[in-house]
């Protein structure tokens, strides 16, 4: 089974991915690991996409992320695409909470050596830029998906039976 989880920062993508990974035994991957390789080292979209295409297994996986460039590939390959539609204010609260709590499990979702920093640009991305593009991205997912698309508002209440 292949599961792609998409949503804004702070929506619960990593938490849901880790939870589903435990319950299903599927390996968990993070889109950010393909686009960021360490402190302030961004990989080109072409380089990240090439690595994603060659290193992501063909059979079973869970991958989470929100980079728009991955939508065509992952929605076509996934048996299930989970779209987290969460309020920007809730997302911002969770991002700040995550930043101050330094949860070691969620640190695994961040690339090695990368330090999450809070900035006005990131706050603006969460509150304004991501929501501005979200409806378009959700529509793209629904149009391109080869498997089932699940739009949910609370990752903590995801029903595992939907994946059967």
DSSP string, 135-158: HHHHHHHHHH-SSEEEEES-GGG-
* CATH assignment of the domain containing 46: 3.40.50.300
Residue 23 belongs to some domain of the structure: yes
Please name which of 28, 15, 61 lies closest in space to residue 158, comparing C-alpha atoms: 15
Task: Measure the CA–CA gap between 101 and 77, rounded to whole angstroms.
Answer: 34
Structural domain boundaries enclosing 110: 2-157
pLDDT per residue as tens digits for the range 34-79: 888 776 678 899 999 999 999 999 999 999 999 999 999 999 999 9
Please name which of 125, 119, 127, 120 lies closest in space to residue 87, comparing C-alpha atoms: 127
- pLDDT at position 75 is 96
Report the domain count for the chain.
1
Residue 162 belongs to some domain of the structure: no
């Amino acid at each position: 089974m292949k599961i792609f989880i998409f949503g804004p920062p702070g929506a619960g993508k990593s938490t849901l991915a880790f939870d589903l990974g435990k319950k299903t035994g599927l390996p968990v991957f993070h889109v950010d690991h393909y686009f960021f390789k360490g402190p302030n080292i961004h990989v080109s979209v072409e380089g990240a996409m090439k690595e994603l295409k060659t290193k992501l297994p063909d059979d079973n996986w869970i991958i989470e992320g929100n980079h728009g460039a991955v939508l065509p590939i992952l929605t076509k390959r996934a048996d299930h695409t989970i779209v987290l539609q969460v309020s920007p204010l809730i997302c911002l609260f969770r991002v700040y909470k995550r930043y101050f709590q330094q949860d070691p499990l969620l640190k695994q979702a961040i690339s090695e050596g990368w330090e999450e920093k809070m900035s006005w640009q990131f706050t603006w991305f969460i509150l304004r830029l991501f929501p501005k593009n979200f409806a378009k991205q959700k529509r793209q997912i629904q149009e391109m998906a080869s498997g089932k698309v699940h739009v949910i508002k609370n990752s903590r209440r995801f029903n595992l039976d939907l994946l059967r």
